[in-house]
Chain A
Amino acid sequence: MKLLPKDVYRELADALGEENISQEPAVLDGYAWQPAMNLTNQKWIPRPAAVILPATTEEVQTIVRICNQRQVKFKAHSTGWAAWGGPSQEGELQIDLRRMNRILELDEKNKFAVVEPYVCCGQLQSEAMKKGLTCHIIGAGPNTSALASATSAWGYGGTGLSTGYSGRNVLGVEWVLPDGEVLQLGSPGSHAGWFSGDGPGPGLRGIMRGFSGTQGSLGVFTKCAVKLFPWYGPPQPRVEGILLDVETDVPETEKMFFVVAPSFKKYADISYEIGNAEIAYWFCRSPLNAGVDLFMPRAGDRLFESKPLRALLKAFQHLGVALLSSPSKREVEYQEKVLRKITVEHGCILLDLSKAPGYGFWWWLMGVRSIPTALTFRAGGDFLTSYGSPVEYDNAIRQAEVAQECKQKYIDQGYFKDDMSDIGWGGIYEGTANWGHCETAAMFDRRDGQAEGRFKYLEDSARTTIEHTLGLGLSNLPPGAWKVYGPQLHNYHLWEARIKKAFDPNSVGDEQWYVPSIDEIEPKESSSDEQ
């Protein structure tokens, strides 16, 4: 086990206080257990040499400066849910940002909030609702940090049709660069307040996160302003129960539906129509068989064994959940009319959930708070995700189709739980923008071993997206993927590697989920060019 050199540890402990740093092995292992997205056959990821808990930007700066002076690599995380938040090799310093947990500002008029890293989306949403606002919550759920997906990691969520994508919702960032300097991006960079991510002031959003984020490889984000959106429900809805038993009252101005399409193609078509009509607050593909697996996995096992029931579930395979939300009853009625017209025209079925038992459950859990994803762990104990390129939506849906075929082979071999193969989840985003994503989850029990077969599936999934020219399922790429995919994708990694060098001259930011500095990969680049 690699520990920090004693004097480095002392320096850090003196700066932050003994109670905010630890190199106790059992404490460190709390950061080395990251099964989600751990794409190796090791149960544990590398153990950090120490973990440190800063409470302020200045403390983060101090830590990063010491790391530069002493050549110690570091990795910061917010809530730390998945392997990319942990170190990729021993000897690194883990920065756990949980003491930076404040909502610094919630501007009702200009619809934004300034948050620190450890504010989870559930907290932000509950405070925003009190002011008639809500926030974008990624599909992972309200337990994730609002700042993390905005600055560092992806950003898809079921309400993307109306609340966009985390990367787009950034309205200013405070960033401790890998060399310890503090940079404010967007309007706060020119002391103009937190209202715009790209200026007046430096607008380096592309460098900061590109499309999918640098996963903690380019310093530490300490503050971030995120856009908020109108909320038409009550400031604090009555909610009883905690998950599957939730009961609540759905306001008259909200209405939820299942939209069932007869085919992949029709599903894509109707999604475009809904996006173009700008009617829904949430519209997201969620096959019924997936719902069965999440909400009643044991019943699912039995249902999936029965041919007639399987056929019945298959009929609801191309199911999208739509939530209409508006300031008035009249407006929601209008939206419903439009939705009905679109569904009829496309030969789809519309199921009015307001007539179904447990309606409030769907509304609150899924439509408002985006809670169910954590249930994906329920059936097997773990899951991985695949495909999911951010592309025009018919290609996104085509990925679910390709995934279905590819995944079935692995289900047949026992690597994944039988879930009828299609768990293509994802929506069309940003209204008329017509792009979206659809990733395919696969559930399994990590405790049974068999990792190799699952990696093989991930390789196959990436290969098939390229074969079918569907983009690249960025969410299933293991560390170091740039070596394989960079050359196939316009050598994107060389640009990133140059950014890495410019921003992190001492290479102290753990680069595994991003790219190393250009100095380190240039020789590899020339050898791959020669081949």
Chain B
Amino acid sequence: MNDLATLKSDMEGCSRCSHCKWVPMAQIKSWRFAKICPSVDRYNFHAYSGGGKLIASNSILEGRSEVTDPVMEIVYRCQLCGACQVSCQAYRDDIDLADVLLALRAKCVTEGYVLPEHLLMIESMKKEDNTLGLLKADRGVWAKDLDLIDINTQKVEVLFHAGCRYSYDEDLRSSVRNWVRLFRNAGVDLGAAGPEESCCGGRAFEMGYQGEMKNFAEDMIGRIKASGAKLLVTPCSDCYYTFKYLYPKNGMDAGLRVLHAVEYADLLIKQGRLKLGKCASLRVTYHDPCHLGRRGEIYKMGWNGVNKLHRPVRFKQMGNLGIFDPPRNVIRSIPGLDLVEMERIREYSWCCGAGGGVLEAFPDFADWTARDRIEEARAAGAEAIVTACPWCERVFKDAIAAGGDPMKVYDVIDLITMSWGG
């Protein structure tokens, strides 16, 4: 956990070049899709960009300005998508933009500058162990009749963590259940915590309630250790990021391998344990979820120096080691599907709009951001946008429904299920 003051040098390093507003220059392919930061693209003042938030943080730290209502809007109208960090770190070794954005939120929360919508979520997390304000007792309903091994009473090799959105969102229920069926099909015995599964805590951390994550992490790690699991599989990109990046960054070690469900599926296909069928012909494009892509990059620990100008490049979180190829491999392995790429992909992908507490506090901004992506999918010639995160799927589905758009939205598992005639 970084205190804002410890990042002063990062803030003062900003040259105000505005690269953090654009996709990396080498990847600009058109006028239309050259922008990378939803926040500044929507609200325009420099303060909304990654670099602008760096400057605002420095200004607040130096007492030149204070957190006010308009400043809170700047802080929280940001998906924490991490795209700005990728564009900045292409050039700079001494600026960890994403750390500053997180620390700025933590400062706001510590000082009481909070949003009611976020507070609601935190209350729900504290009371019901989930981000959606629903009953803890209902958490395991999604797995009814699937006969998953109950890790609260038995040991398992592979632990399946559904995450809050998949546990409760009935619209997405078939996806999460199909993931389980898929792995079963490959002969994997999965265990799950059922109603005892709790939130990973990542959302609380991102919204600035950093201390809250610790409670969830301790709970989670305790349960994992007790289960004896060697592998944790999750279909939720947010949870994945929390396990791969936030826990280790904050000194918490779950002591097991973590894979996203698409990574695991890719692995099982490569091992010959999974065979996919054919789909009706469909032109699809893949949307890299921020938390599986650039932000899903494993936390690179081991450098403890002070002057980041001397930090070896291998310790920078540049986002290029996120999970990009496995979902594409799975899609490509299904005959009938034609995978076309959008302009902004991989570590320079445009966000879906849902992250960072934006969906909860500023749904219109989340919707605006999602529409930009849907437009990009259309420009690529896709009939469907495929993703690997229930949050992305939710916001895309809502944007499409609201706009009466013919674009379809799928999770990777939906395509696999279709390939089996499901």
Contacts and interface: CB of A to CB of B under 8 A. Distances in A.
Interface of A: 19-20, 22, 24-31, 33-36, 43-44, 47, 51, 53, 79-82, 96, 98-99, 103, 119-120, 122-127, 141-143, 236, 239, 241-246, 297-298, 364-365, 369, 371, 374-375, 377-382, 445-447
A-B CB proximity, top 5 nearest: A25-B65, A30-B46, A242-B24, A29-B59, A122-B28
Interface stretch (B84-92, B172-180, B377-385, B401-409): B84-92
B25 A30 contact: no
Nearest to B348: A242
Given A31-B46, A33-B16, A98-B44, A241 B25 contact: no
A126 B91 contact: no
B22 A378 contact: no
B18 A81 contact: yes
B31 A245 contact: no
9 contacts: A30-B52, A47-B64, A51-B45, A99-B44, A142-B25, A143-B17, A143-B18, A298-B310, A374-B91
Interface stretch (B6-14, B328-336, B412-420): B6-14
Contacts of B70: 22, 24, 26-27
Contacts of A29: 47, 55-56, 58-59, 64-65
A364 B17 contact: no
B30 interface: yes
Contacts of A445: 309
Contacts of B25: 122, 141-143, 243, 369, 371
Given A242-B27, A245-B320, A371-B25, A26 B59 contact: yes
A27 B45 contact: yes
B13 A236 contact: no
A212 B208 CA distance: 47
A222 to B, nearest CB: 17
Contacts of B93: 297, 378
A123 B52 contact: no
Given A242-B90, A243-B91, A382-B15, A126 B24 contact: no
A378 B55 contact: no
A236 B46 contact: no
B13 A381 contact: yes
B316 to A, nearest CB: 11
A35 to B, nearest CB: 6
A24 B71 contact: yes
A26 B13 contact: no
A239 B25 CA distance: 11
Contact of B64 (A25, A34, A99, A374): A25
Given A371-B25, A445-B309, A81 B16 contact: yes
A115 to B, nearest CB: 10
B19 A27 contact: no
A44 B16 CA distance: 12
B45 A242 contact: no
A1 to B, nearest CB: 9
Contact of B91 (A81, A369, A377, A446): A377
B26 A447 contact: no
Contacts of A241: 26, 320
B34 interface: yes
B92 A126 contact: no
A365 B90 CA distance: 12
